[in-house]
Structure 1
Amino acid sequence: MIENSTTFRAKPIQEASSIMPILNFAIASISSHLIVDLSDAKVYSYWGNKRIGTYPVAIGQKGWETPTGSFQVVKKIRNPVWVQPITQKHIPTGKDNPLGDRWIGFWSDDRHEIGFHGTHDEKLVGQPISHGCLRMRNRDIHSLYDQVTIGTPVIVRK
């Protein structure tokens, strides 16, 4: 009991409002999902039916279109190494790495991967310029990275 000018008493559990704690983060993540709309070059982040974020993205250029369909987050990496899709050259983390410092992968054919990542050239965000990935402003990929877990559904539509 806390006493000052007013006395406060905690309500017994049966009187308390229905607050359900999140006991298992993996279960909680089932409620989140991402929708990528290629027609407006944006990704929409949802928690249940509530939109919690909207971010512009660069999408795949002609010949390197971003795949459409239903996917799920399969990989999250801080400070990723980039493998150039044509030359297979490895670019380590740093200023020359076009992925920025976050990677959220959702598609792979065992040779190439597609996902969300940052960029060192933010003026390209919103344009069809990538090799299929979804480039984001660095501050936006940091936010999105914190919102998703492995298994988060990703829907990409035209």
Structure 2
Amino acid sequence: MLLRLTAAVAAVALLAGPAGATNTSRPKRPADPIPPMAEPISLEASLARVPTDLRQRLGLQLVLDRTHRQLLVLRDGEIRSRYPAAVGTEGWETPAGQHRVLEKVRQPVWTHPVNGKKIAPGEKNPLGSRWIGFYRDCKGRNGWDGEQYLDIDGCTVAGFHGTPHRWTVGRAVSHGCVRLYEENVQEVFELVRVGTPVTVLP
């Protein structure tokens, strides 16, 4: 999810699930209307949506197709894996363009963007067990000096992360981040490194 930070914290807001929601293998759906799931497309159609220059790129890269709400893992121009993904809702779109993995965090602590309340790692943490940050903008500045985040108020961040709310994956419901099923974000976490290219298709 994409949001404004009051300090240099990688906080991400999450739409609240129903009261007493639990993390089960079967996605839960709240009573309120939510955006529909993306329609699945074939592997060939997925690859056709990837621009030619990216298909010619060697090495590992991630490509997020916001329209079809899927994350593609490409190696040497071929799709190696596809994962359903929740993307930013209208007005909070996941930032399109060329990015890179900026950081990887196991068992991240989530900080509420408004009240500063922290949620420790665990089943109720909106980020799940992994955070893969790929976007940070601090009033027009990157906010990353190559080694650490700079302490700049008013930053916006986005990344890939897990979620305890499985029913949201495949929908446009986040505030800019990319939610993956917990088992999928763990796989992606092991594949990428800091510097891995990330492309978010318009």
**Which TM-score applies when normalising by structure 1?**
0.77
In the other structure, the counterpart of 1:65 is: 93
8 Å contact from structure 1 (residues 80, 103) kept in 2:
yes
Tell me the C-alpha RMSD between the 2 structures.
1.3
Residue 85 of structure 1 contacts residue 112 of structure 1 at CA under 8 Å; is this kept in 2?
A: no
Q: One-letter code of the match for 2:99?
A: F
1:105 corresponds to 2:136: no
State the SS of the aligned residue for 1:115: strand
Instruction: Name the structure 2 match of 1:94.
Output: 122
Q: Residue 167 of structure 2 aligns to a residue in which SS? A: helix
- Per the alignment, residue 44 of structure 1 pairs with 72
Task: Calculate the TM-score normalised by the size of structure 2.
Answer: 0.61
Structure 1: distance between partners of 2:121 and 2:156: 18
Residue in 2 that maps onto 1:123: 167
Aligned-residue sequence identity (percent) comes to: 39
In structure 1, distance between residues paired with 2:73 and 2:84: 12
Higher radius of gyration, 1 or 2:
1
Q: What residue number does 1:153 align with?
A: 197
Q: Deviations over 1:109-134 (max 9, x none)?
A: 24232000000011110111111000
Does residue 138 (structure 1) correspond to residue 185 (structure 2)? The answer is no
Instruction: Provide the rounded CA distance (Å) in 2 between the counterparts of 1:69 and 1:131.
Output: 17
**Separation in 1 of the partners of 2:96 and 2:74?**
18
Structure 2, unaligned runs of 5 or more:
1-57, 139-154
When residues 131 and 84 of structure 1 are mapped into structure 2, their CA distance, relative to the original with a 3 A threshold, is: farther
CA distances 1:37-72 after superposition (whole Å, capped 9, x unpaired): 100000100111121110010001122111000000
Unaligned 5+ segments in structure 1 are 1-29
Residue 100 of structure 1, CA deviation? 0.3
- SS of the equivalent of 1:112 reads strand
Which has the higher relative contact order, 1 or 2, with Cα contacts under 8 A spaced 6 or more apart?
2
The amino acid that maps onto 1:42 is Q
Task: Tell me the amino acid that sits aligned with residue 141 of structure 1.
Answer: V
- Specify which structure has the higher proportion of strand: 1
Paired positions, count: 129
Partner of 2:184: helix, strand, or coil? helix
Distance in 2 separating the partners of 1:123 and 1:116? 16
